[in-house]
Amino acid sequence: MATTQANIMPRRAQGEAGILPVQAIRGLIADGHVRLAEPMLADQLQPASLDLRLGAEAFRVRASFLPGPNARVDDKLAQLRLHSIDLTLSAVLETGCVYLAPLIESMALPTGVAAATNPKSSTGRLDVFTRVIADGVAAFDQIPAGYQGRLWAEICPQTFPVVVRKGSRLSQVRFRVGTAATSDLALIELNRRERLVSAEPADIASGIALSVDLVGDGSGPIGYRAKRHTGLIDVDVAGACRVADFWEPIAADDSRRLILDPDQFYILASKEAVHVAPMQAAEMVPFNPLVGEFRVHYAGFFDPGFGHAAAGGAGARAVLEVRSHKVPFILEDGQIVGRLIYERLTEVPEVVYGAGLKSNYQGQGLKLSKHFK
């Protein structure tokens, strides 16, 4: 197990570059830089992010799109919308369809603050492809400093049809002041089980590499493969679905490998146990696509305190949401599949992941989303 650094770094002065913690986000809301069309929920703020809520209506559209510079989402929507869906009660979003929904939250960011969004962990583990777009912005999930306007969620369920409604939270947003990448300060603890590492140079340009565990500890499956043609999953209801109705467990075998079938969805786990100190936030980013035709991890935010022993999370591993593209692909045990980029927070957060919060994945091993019992 790798050596850890001190539990909490000295409190940093406000105004320094970094990710804004919960109390600073609360300040953005109080000052009108983050605008809520409806009152904030008690559990909507996370240690270094804010959950985003779907509005009262969604639109099925012909295709995914970006508005591009000097263009508004509304204008594109007028050309591409097929029909509208009332979300005030609940609605089913079907697999393979693209939907666009305005969010309850909008932005009036100051010039020194930018934001980035990502699917929530539970969203990614359901294989619901979700991205946020903004007027005049030519990239998904990016909200530039000084942006003023509405936000929209693009939603495309890939494997399971899902039930959503007004207020459903599929995405989250982080706020950043300046540039504060600090991968040299990353904390990542190796799991106590044997870790096989190739002697070849890693295919990771920067950050801390994560590898896939296809051996396990012998006490259960090493992963899950999603079933097709299943029932509905209500994104707002925890513990309502039987695992056997939606997933096939994958057992370890002597080959120490797994063949990914094209367009199938898998839940796997990292060999490494991740530790995010209270003064840091981390994001998992895709690996170099030149080393394999598959996608890992839709939901990339790791909050301050994730895997932190003092918050009950010692040994927490990263859960990997894996999808192969076009051709079968062989994953080998210990193969690098992603990387963690760490950034400093501007100050110590008032709360950390798992400490007094309803944190579903603290201390996790291989774990499906909260929707399964």
Residues 249-259: tens digit of each pLDDT: 999 999 999 99
Assess whether 76 and 163 both reside in one domain. Answer: yes
Fill in the amino acid letter for 173: V
Evaluate whether residue 257 is within a structural domain: yes
237 vs 337, residue with greater confidence? 237
Question: What residues contact residue 126 under an 8 Å CB cut-off, 6+ apart?
Answer: 157, 159, 160, 162, 233, 235, 369, 371
Assess whether 189 and 166 both reside in one domain. Answer: no
Assess whether 190 and 140 both reside in one domain. Answer: no
Mean pLDDT, range 65-93, rounded to an integer: 94
Assess whether 302 and 325 both reside in one domain. Answer: yes
**pLDDT at residue 197 is higher than 80:** no
Evaluate whether residue 97 is within a structural domain: yes
Assess whether 213 and 304 both reside in one domain. Answer: yes
Assess whether 169 and 203 both reside in one domain. Answer: no
Assess whether 213 and 155 both reside in one domain. Answer: no
**pLDDT at residue 58 is higher than 80:** yes
- Most confident by average pLDDT, 2-16, 183-197, 232-246, 322-336: 232-246
**pLDDT at residue 68 is higher than 90:** no
Mean pLDDT, range 170-176, rounded to an integer: 97
Distances (CA, A) of 241 to 229, 236, 275, 370: 15, 12, 30, 9
Residue 208 has a pLDDT of 82
Task: Give the pLDDT confidence of 124-148 residue by residue, as tens digits.
Answer: 999 999 999 999 999 999 999 999 9
CATH number at residue 239: 2.70.40.10
Assess whether 154 and 52 both reside in one domain. Answer: yes
Residue position matching structure tokens 């994958």: 250
Residue 358 has a pLDDT of 54
Evaluate whether residue 270 is within a structural domain: yes
Assess whether 210 and 72 both reside in one domain. Answer: no
**pLDDT at residue 106 is higher than 70:** yes
Distances (CA, A) of 327 to 96, 160, 263: 19, 22, 9
Please give the residue range of the domain that contains residue 317: 183-344
Assess whether 231 and 250 both reside in one domain. Answer: yes
User: pTM of the entire structure?
Assistant: 0.86
**pLDDT at residue 195 is higher than 90:** no
Residue 179 has a pLDDT of 63
Q: What's the pLDDT band for 187 if we cut at 50, 70, 90?
A: very low
Task: Give the pLDDT confidence of 304-350 residue by residue, as tens digits.
Answer: 988 766 555 566 888 999 988 888 999 999 998 888 889 999 999 99
Evaluate whether residue 6 is within a structural domain: no
Give how many domains the chain has, as a whole number. Answer: 2
Q: Compute the residue count for the chain.
A: 373
Q: What mean pLDDT is reported for the chain? A: 84
- Rg of the chain over CA atoms, in angstroms? 20
Last residue of a domain, one of 149, 177, 205: 177
Do the beta carbons of residue 21 and residue 347 sit within 8 Å? yes
Assess whether 143 and 262 both reside in one domain. Answer: no
273 vs 294, residue with greater confidence? 273
Assess whether 225 and 325 both reside in one domain. Answer: yes
Fill in the amino acid letter for 50: L
**pLDDT at residue 4 is higher than 70:** no
Evaluate whether residue 361 is within a structural domain: no
Q: What's the pLDDT band for 192 if we cut at 50, 70, 90?
A: very low
Last residue of a domain, one of 133, 161, 177: 177
**pLDDT at residue 188 is higher than 70:** no
Evaluate whether residue 366 is within a structural domain: no
Least confident of 162-171, 327-336, 359-368: 359-368
Evaluate whether residue 359 is within a structural domain: no
Residue 355 has a pLDDT of 53
